[in-house]
Amino acid sequence: FVLGAAYFVVMLIAAFSYRIPAPGWKPRGWTGPKADAPSRRLVSSHDVSIDQAVKTPQFYLLWVVLCFNVTAGIGVLGVAQTMMKEIFGTTLPDTVDANFAANYVLMISVFNMLGRFFWASASDYLGRKTTNTLFFVLGIALYLSIPYTAYRVSVSPAVTWLVVFYAATMLIFTMYGGGFATIPAYLADLFGARYVGGIHGRLLTAWSVAGALGPWAITWFRERSIRAAIDDLVAKIDPARFAEAFGAPVDQLELLVAGKTVTISRLMELAPPGTIDPSSTVYNSTMYVMAGLLAIALAANLLIRPVDAKHHLKLEEASRAANSSKGEPPRKMASRSSGDYTAPS
């Protein structure tokens, strides 16, 4: 209740504090990028209506970009604390305890916030397309590094691998936050600023899909990996010892796993000496899938081009929209292409 009330007050004050800058206003000393700068290549000087925007391939390419970027990030976000415990809790128990895992989740929030400031600012200079390309190229490499890190720490436990994992995931979460921060500007670059609010609202359906897809995917692949690890361990254990430990024969494994009686940690107590604990590898398949999703998002981002002129608001439509926003009746204007075009007074 307290948090809800605080959010309500802060957001209400912020909403009523918004002001549209005066026409032509610029920050003191600010000079915009040159027209031929890389960050301006996709920036349109035309507006596209909401109805037309959803008819363009650019809208759906951006939908894929946002959906898969969020899927990869939100899937890991939901199990971050569990993942830290399962990968490093068994191999570095003196370092990774419950308090360490809780602080890890706190730092995820911090880097998520920092990423929104850093990447949004960087995109003004790099361009939205280049910034998102960096998200996905770096993200693919970082997600693929996690299985290797998990394997190395299971073979030779060392804090070095914890540091590598920590740094990789923190960078991933800066890009997760940065993706949200740059998408509205990306939309404004492609479709103009007039209707960006409505277009952004429709694009956020990608977030809704990702919110369901990400946690489901990471849970499903994790459960599959756990079951595969259990089957592998059971194959190495003497059936008689198994039956003695769990009070049921191996052919009852399905029921024992469903009832949480048989777990990886319990099986490791029965496994032959030298058996590597597979707990740290149960997220490997998930990381590979997330890297694959980012590869699809990368391809979608690279395919984005300026919006076709046929989707731009015509001069008469733009004037009508501008006048209606000011409460003025629309002015009747001739087409720019006709011979009797007269500029509005």
- What pLDDT is attached to residue 75? 77
Rounded Cα–Cα distance for residues 230 and 281 (Å): 12
User: Is 45-212+279-308 assigned to CATH 1.20.210.10?
Assistant: no
Contact 193, 47 (CB under 8 A): yes
Closest CA to 284 of 156, 151, 157, 154: 151
| pLDDT category of residue 333 using cuts at 50, 70 and 90 | very low
Q: Is 207 exposed, middle or buried (0-12, 13-18, 19+ CB in 10 A)?
A: middle
What is the H or E stretch that residue 277 is in?
none
Rounded Cα–Cα distance for residues 138 and 140 (Å): 6
Rounded Cα–Cα distance for residues 241 and 269 (Å): 11
Closest CA to 73 of 282, 279, 213: 213
Q: Taking residues 291-306, what's their average pLDDT?
A: 95
144, two tokens = 């693929």
More confident residue, 215 or 200: 200
Q: Taking residues 126-142, what's their average pLDDT?
A: 94
Residue 161 zone, left/alpha/beta (φ > 0; ψ -120 to 50; rest): alpha
* pTM for this predicted structure: 0.81
Q: Taking residues 246-250, what's their average pLDDT?
A: 90
- What pLDDT is attached to residue 339? 38
